[in-house]
Structure 1
């Protein structure tokens, strides 16, 4: 693989995914704090601060669709491999969450059947996202066929148009939610489907594809303006903090995935992480974060189990700052251990065949 300035060109993808999975961990630890608790507003600020994580995963999928998947010829092998690598573990973990993991989040679990638990992502609070992700995977052959049928310039314009229309649509949906009109909310398809469909994440997916299309030009622009971008860091941070405070004051933080403001937060996070990545010269630290980025799927599936186990059985569900921080650290370590063991188990047959 070609190298550039001491790191592989794909290194930033693993880096940003690694940071994003840490963000997901933080979000789901914060989710232990119920509304009305003394720490709830602080938790909401931290929650929104890291909400760029899930959009980043979708953006990376769009990026990979153009940079990697567009060269695939045998789609049946692609779908089968994705089912074995992603689908089977997802089904198994859904069953675990449905029948063996206690409910502790303030979001109540209703009586969920096996069908809705697996096919609607209702088995646990974080699995809804996997439905949208799997649907994007299933749509990949069709998306690639469209991308190949038209010029890059034409497709980039279409994708930008889709992004702008989606941003407008999200703004309308946010107003519907903030209106507290129960009848309207319960009859609005976009809201009822709760982020489980590709339509909920189009702007991030399209942005990933466009970035992949013009990655060389974008990298060249960043290099020419590197000094200016570094000096803009304090301004970007300040604007994001002010934006998040406004979202908290106006109750928009409660519906952040249906808010158009999540897009600039995500875009700012990507820029800041790129700057941080370029200035992170400690190879070991980079490697550890990249390891997380290469194993985000197993992290994502399993981490809720370990968060609940630690918080319920170690800290007796007592919400303090120390307990929440310790819950994050201990459950994070447990998830890493699980991931290492999982990888060794999966790779063991390959090693035996080689020997």
Structure 2
């Protein structure tokens, strides 16, 4: 019998085991099939297996994984490690930490991570990438996750535009470093657990200039300008330079869309995260003024197409599959849930994108 490792925090009180549970090496039987887990048993498991893992059969592993009851954070952590997202996030964190401490960006490391992200975009399908992007994040990892997510999203948009590979790599790099200037912003402002004051927001608004300055003259000017101009608006009402229209490069326009999408998806202590369908509806309604409408249309169209057949967790706890997203009602997709096909509404709705493992 093949045994699979599974984190103890995937288990929950009241779970009736469909298979035996062994220690992390599979050599010691801990719990027998048919037993119902109590909190006391869970506590003892955690104390006995200090590594945090147990093993069980493939059948039981899949049952727990696809139950919809395993803690989402635990599922997400294991998933991100499996697809390589965690390693990339740690690499980005290292780049930002060095920049924060030395006031100098390590472009060699940045180029290496850019290549690694570009490779992931080529080999991972859309649900696997966006399961990582759409996940809630901790406040203390917001900057590195945001930068990594914008890099991924930039690259995906570049693919949808059928841009040449060198341009897509520039887009990935631009997304990676667009907020590097935030390493010069005081952390008490950057990670404030509330809305910023007007004075604090003015300080934050300096970060595109800082990003541009940290990217030395030997960095491709397209990348530098994308970092400087990702908060500019086509109507001239952006910052820091108040440029408009064709003065804003394609890389900056794409980065602006990726930046807004990830900002809306993320959860901070003063606001709830949003699910993709709600964000896409806001894009479609033009609630983010100054973006390139042609690029927004392409982004929304492709996002909608790629979210079909993706698993979602519903407000009643069940796992469903997106079957159709009405073009004029993007935030009310039609869901197949246990062969019951219905459109979401205010009482029955998608809570989050579910774990795509086994899809």
- Structure 1-normalised TM-score? 0.29
- Structure 2-normalised TM-score? 0.29
Higher helix residue share: 1
Higher strand residue share: 2
Higher relative contact order (CA 8 A, sep 6+): 1
